[in-house]
Structure 1
């Protein structure tokens, strides 16, 4: 099944998005509903709250007095953390139970107000953030919850700001228009990305990429996008496996095909094969066949690796799995760092890309055309490494 995290600031319209996703067929798990359920009258969650915050948090009918609890917690970080330690583990356990009970082909959407604040983003295949202007949010909170402007401002300020949420988002839905406009965005997302993403994930196949060649202008968000993918891979694997952003999208200012290249370091290729199913469940299935790199400057020799793709039709990705310390592993890191550090090399590569793109309209013939340049530049990179004492960085090596 596909697991989607849905979040957004208070008043942004997250609940409206959840309702529309439900209409499209998604299974919605609402963290707010579960947070109420786990502290309902007679639960051990409620008993723990009363023990921690006093009998004044218990209403006459035996249920939680929410305004009384809010008065104790709001603005008090220690009290808030105590409450979170009571509620969050119970909500996570109930979420896991409901997720396990969903159909195998389901798109399961976890509606989590504090998804970013609690660091849960890497546990989902995709994170959707709903965003709206501050004035619109304050107006909605006044209309739907009876808050004053000051109360609404205080609630907004207590959450992560839009920039922080955006860095965690694979998809941002802007809700500054009408409900019909928001629903149209949700429908396109569900039909064009979530549904095919789930199918690819279930069938363990990579999303198809366009064979046609297109070199995109440098995108300053490529490293941020890579960081989200890396966090998901790390979440899916046991500790100690370095994951690096490599290739052209890892070099600031360099035009590139809009494909994120990542590299997972393993001790042996046999270990790589034992990790394949974990990676597939996380959205990175192995591509069939034995995959190799051509060895630079060594005729007839190859560097074995494993290659995985991505199941998300909205984000093309190549995950190269190489043995730590092997020639292919070293080459990928060296070329990235060389191009980052030597502007003349980066600019020369950019100019060469433009020539090759003009001559080749197919990604595969374009890749073949690059080989002679890489052979020459590899020697320049080796000279640079020797003169600077270059070594792979700590983030690229086992922890």
Structure 2
């Protein structure tokens, strides 16, 4: 199944997106609903709240008195954190139970208002953030929830800012238009990305890249996109997994194909094979075939590796799995750092890319055309490494 995290600031329209996703067949797990469920009368969660804050947080009927509890934690960060330590783990446990009960082909949407604040983004295959202009949010909260403008501002200010949420967003839905406009975009997202993503995940296949070549201008969002992908891989393999951003999209200012290249270092290729299932479940299926790097300056020899792609049709990825310390591993890091540090080399590579793209209409021919340039530049990169004392640093 595809696990999607959905979040957005209060008043942004997250609930409208969640409802439309359900209309499109998604299974919704609402954290606000679960937060109430885990402190219902008779639950261990409610007992823990009473133990932490006293019997004054109960109504005469024995239910949680939310205004009374709110008064105890309002303006008290320590009290708020104490409450979160009771509620959040129970909500997550219940969310996992509900996800496991969903059909195998489900798109499971976890509606989590504090997804960014609680650091959960990397646990999902995809994160959707709903964003709306601050003034629009204030107006909505005043008109639909009966808040004063001051109360609305205080609620908005208590949450993560737009920049923090954008950093976690694989999909950013700006909800400044009509409800119909929002529905059209959600429907397209389900049709063009979420459903194909789920199908690839279920079958363990990578989304196919078309043969056509398109070199684009450098995108300042590439490093942040790579960081989100790396975080997901580390969530699947362990926080210390040695994975890094390589290739042209890792070099600021360099035109590139809009494909994020990542590299995972492993002790042996047997270890790479042992990790394949976990990477696939995280959304990075192995690409079939035997993969090698061309050995620079060594005709007829190759450097073996494993290749994974992504099940997400909306973000092309190449995940190169190489043995740490191997020639291919070193070369990938060296060329990235050399091009970052030497403007002349970066400019020459950009000019050469433009010529290759003009001469070749498909990615395979373009890739083959690059090899002679890399063979020559490899020596210049080695000279730079020796002169500067460079050492491979993922």
TM-score bracket for this pair, using the shorter chain length: over 0.9
Deviations 1:367-395 (A, max 9, x none): 000000000001000000000000122xx
Shift of the 55–86 alpha-carbon distance from structure 1 to 2, 3 Å rule, reads: same
TM-score norm. by structure 1 comes to 0.98
Equivalent residue for 1:303? 303
Equivalent residue for 1:165? 165
Equivalent residue for 1:68? 68
Q: Does 1:218 align with 2:218?
A: yes
Deviations 1:21-54 (A, max 9, x none): 0000000000000000000112111111111112
Q: How far apart in 2 are the matches of 1:146 and 1:54?
A: 30
3-state SS, counterpart of residue 61 of structure 2? coil
Equivalent residue for 1:388? 388
Q: How far apart in 1 are the matches of 2:188 and 2:65?
A: 41
Equivalent residue for 2:342? 342
Q: Does 1:259 align with 2:259?
A: yes
Deviations 1:237-293 (A, max 9, x none): 035420010000000000000000000000000000000000000010111111100
Query: What are the ranges of 5 or more consecutive residues in structure 1 without an aligned counterpart?
Result: none
TM-score norm. by structure 2 comes to 0.99
3-state SS, counterpart of residue 256 of structure 2? coil
Q: Does 1:9 align with 2:14?
A: no
3-state SS, counterpart of residue 130 of structure 2? strand
Q: How far apart in 2 are the matches of 1:134 and 1:279?
A: 38
Equivalent residue for 1:192? 192
Query: How many residue pairs get matched?
Result: 394
Q: Does 1:269 align with 2:269?
A: yes
Q: How far apart in 2 are the matches of 1:314 and 1:42?
A: 45
**How far off is 1:316 after superposition?**
0.3
Equivalent residue for 1:287? 287
Q: How far apart in 2 are the matches of 1:85 and 1:258?
A: 41
Equivalent residue for 2:325? 325
Q: How far apart in 2 are the matches of 1:86 and 1:74?
A: 17
Q: How far apart in 2 are the matches of 1:222 and 1:137?
A: 29
Q: How far apart in 2 are the matches of 1:6 and 1:241?
A: 26
Moved segments of 4+, more than 4 Å: none
3-state SS, counterpart of residue 353 of structure 1? helix
Q: Which one is further off, 51-60 or 363-372?
A: 51-60
Q: How far apart in 1 are the matches of 2:221 and 2:33?
A: 34
Equivalent residue for 2:50? 50
3-state SS, counterpart of residue 208 of structure 1? coil
**How far off is 1:143 after superposition?**
2.3
Query: What are the ranges of 5 or more consecutive residues in structure 2 without an aligned counterpart?
Result: none
Shift of the 119–308 alpha-carbon distance from structure 1 to 2, 3 Å rule, reads: same
Q: How far apart in 2 are the matches of 1:156 and 1:226?
A: 29
